[in-house]
Amino acid sequence: MKTYFDERQRLHHPQREMHNGDWTAHVETHVRADSICAAIGPLDRPADYGMAPLLAVHDAAYLEFLKTAFAEWRAAGRPGEAIGYSWPVVRRRPLDLDRIEAKLGRFSYDAGTPIGEETWTSAYWAAQCAVAAAEDLHAGARRAFALCRPPGHHAGRDYLGGYCYLNNAAIAAEHLIRSGSRRVAVLDVDYHHGNGTQDIFYARGDVGFVSLHGDPRTEYPFFWGHADERGEGGGTGANLNLPLPRGTDAPRYLGALEQGCAEISRWEPDHLVVSFGADTFAEDPISNFAIRTPEFAAIGARIAALDLPTAVVMEGGYASEALGRNVATFLNGLGEG
């Protein structure tokens, strides 16, 4: 399978995040990408598909904000990286404000996702990797892997959060739909709920979303990912959340995956996009599941049994040293289809 990565994805270098009442060193570093490259490299450089596939998912004003926020932050005389500290209450009337702090509030939902000088460049190329993987499936490939860094599944149509700026998996899924796929399933096996992906497709009947994740009653992002969120309008029934308790091990995880995969099979999609996070790993520093390295092969194998053309999009995984091994083990289990 083709595996996509662009060196410019290493440039994004978030310094710190607000965590449990203090600033802590940011865990989403380029070392993560280096670990994966070392384990599965050499990777292929994606072509530049331009802004159209990004605009197909994201709000134009949001993309403009992402591109210019750091310069505005500097122009306002601020030190460090751009990060919000004031957010509108949900359903507060929409206001088109100019002040950089207000824009950061409008277009983000947490204080873990700073914008630095190179954030746009890295996020842009991560998204191009996702488009390249979708293009491969459209051209008939059975598998493709996009080493997206920064990750994407927490980013919505007009918001960033959870280390995510552009929703790479959503961009791949939408690109497949616009290339003629009748139905696309997105299976999210990152430790955290993919709230951005869920939001983007919540009312859509042509893109289904199935997610296994730490129960948002105790885990980030708290406000999405609950089992009763089943979609709305034309998308009713096409959203399935399978929240799991802290400590979930491979047998329990594979049981939930069975349920998620059965739902996807019933739905008969033309293509599958997998949001893959290796933060379900037992030794992940920010997560609380108990999957061991060899067990990622079984997860990949169960997904392979769906027998669908599959694009894997990288999400989280913060045990950087083991990350490459975990990704390689998952991809081996998934096989070439």
Report the interface residues with Zn ion, using CB under 5 A.
190-192, 277, 279, 316
Least distance from Zn ion to the Cβ atom of residue 284, Å: 9
Closest of 81, 163, 180 to residue 126, by C-alpha: 163
Least distance from ligand OKP to the Cβ atom of residue 193, Å: 8
Beta carbon nearer to Zn ion, 112 or 309: 112
Number of Cβ atoms within 10 Å of the Cβ of 248? 22
- In the list ligand OKP, Zn ion, none, the entry touching 324 (Cβ below 5 to 8 angstroms by class) is none
Helices assigned H by DSSP within the chain: 30-40, 52-55, 60-75, 100-106, 119-138, 168-178, 195-201, 250-267, 295-304, 320-334
What is the distance between the alpha carbons of residues 308 and 185, in angstroms, rounded to a whole number? 10
What is the distance between the alpha carbons of residues 332 and 337, in angstroms, rounded to a whole number? 11
Closest of 107, 95, 273 to residue 189, by C-alpha: 273
The count of chain residues that interact with ligand OKP, using the rule CB under 6 A, is 15
Binding residues for ligand OKP restricted to 150-189, rule: CB under 6 A: 151, 154, 162-163
Pairing of strands 143-146, 2-4: parallel
- In the list ligand OKP, Zn ion, none, the entry touching 209 (Cβ below 5 to 8 angstroms by class) is none
Least distance from Zn ion to the Cβ atom of residue 190, Å: 4
Q: Which residues of 30-50 are buried (b: 16+ CB within 10 A; e: fewer)?
A: bebbbbbbebbeebbebeebe
Q: Which of 192, 204, 302, 325 binds ligand OKP (CB under 6 A)?
A: 192
- In the list Zn ion, ligand OKP, none, the entry touching 16 (Cβ below 5 to 8 angstroms by class) is none
Closest of 152, 112, 126 to residue 316, by C-alpha: 152
Beta carbon nearer to ligand OKP, 181 or 211: 211
Beta carbon nearer to ligand OKP, 18 or 51: 18
The catalytic residue among 30, 153, 154, 193 is 154
Given the structure tokens 């293009």, which residue do they identify?
135
- Does the footprint of ligand OKP cover residue 135 (CB under 6 A)? no
Tell me how many degrees the CA angle 146-232-245 measures, rounded to the nearest 5.
60
- Does the footprint of ligand OKP cover residue 2 (CB under 6 A)? no
3-state secondary structure of 4: strand
- Alpha carbon 188 to chain centroid distance? 8
Q: Could you tell me which residues come within 8 angstroms of residue 256 by beta carbon, excluding any fewer than 6 positions away?
A: 212, 242, 244, 248
Q: Residue 99 — φ and ψ, nearest 5°?
A: -60, 135
- In the list ligand OKP, Zn ion, none, the entry touching 18 (Cβ below 5 to 8 angstroms by class) is ligand OKP
Q: Which of 4, 201, 220, 253 binds ligand OKP (CB under 6 A)?
A: 220
Residue 271 among the catalytic residues: no
Beta carbon nearer to ligand OKP, 269 or 277: 277
Beta carbon nearer to ligand OKP, 136 or 163: 163
Least distance from Zn ion to the Cβ atom of residue 28, Å: 10
Binding residues for ligand OKP restricted to 268-327, rule: CB under 6 A: 277, 279, 315-316
- Does the footprint of ligand OKP cover residue 208 (CB under 6 A)? no
- In the list Zn ion, ligand OKP, none, the entry touching 284 (Cβ below 5 to 8 angstroms by class) is none
3-state secondary structure of 264: helix
- Does the footprint of ligand OKP cover residue 209 (CB under 6 A)? no
Beta carbon nearer to ligand OKP, 51 or 282: 282
Q: Which of 112, 196, 208, 243 binds ligand OKP (CB under 6 A)?
A: 112
What is the distance between the alpha carbons of residues 203 and 239, in angstroms, rounded to a whole number? 9
- Count of H-run helices and E-run strands, the chain: 10, 9
Q: Please list the active-site residues.
A: 154
What does the binding site for ligand OKP look like in residue numbers (CB under 6 A)?
A: 17-19, 112, 151, 154, 162-163, 190, 192, 220, 277, 279, 315-316
